[in-house]
Amino acid sequence: MTSPKAETTPRRVEKTDEQWRAQLSPEEYAIARRGSTERAFSGRYYEHHEAGRYVCVCCGTPLFASQRKYESGSGWPSWWAPIREENLARRVDTSHGMRRVEVLCAACDAHLGHVFEDGPPPTGLRYCINSASLRFEPETGEAPG
């Protein structure tokens, strides 16, 4: 039987820089491990509408569901809420002369993107996420076992 704490806390994933470089493409590494950003309107999931979920490219932690994705017009895939708040971490980002809230994977600290308070109801949030930080898992139609 799984404890309630284990169900709400993603498992911690730690690897060396060499291990991350070996696992990820150069673009994925630059964005997820070094905090870079892909060009607007260039990400593989920007105009992606298939049913399923988006997981961390580094560790596979479930992050966002297609049902919460929307077209923000920002140039990056956007969601109004994550699958589970506990799967994300946040920190203040003051780079580029701005004050923003950076969003990271809670399990492995991968840089995902930023969250803004200009999204649609019901949350009013816009999770603006780099496609290179994600891997898509299509909905299979099977009940979870």
Rounded to whole angstroms, the Cα distance separating 35 from 9 reads 23
128 among known catalytic residues: yes
71-99: burial string, b at 16+ Cβ within 10 Å, e else: ebeeebbbbbebbeeebbbeeeeeeeeee
Q: Which of 58, 59, 105, 128 is catalytic?
A: 128
Cβ proximity of 105 and 58 under 8 Å: yes
Catalytic residues, which ones? 128
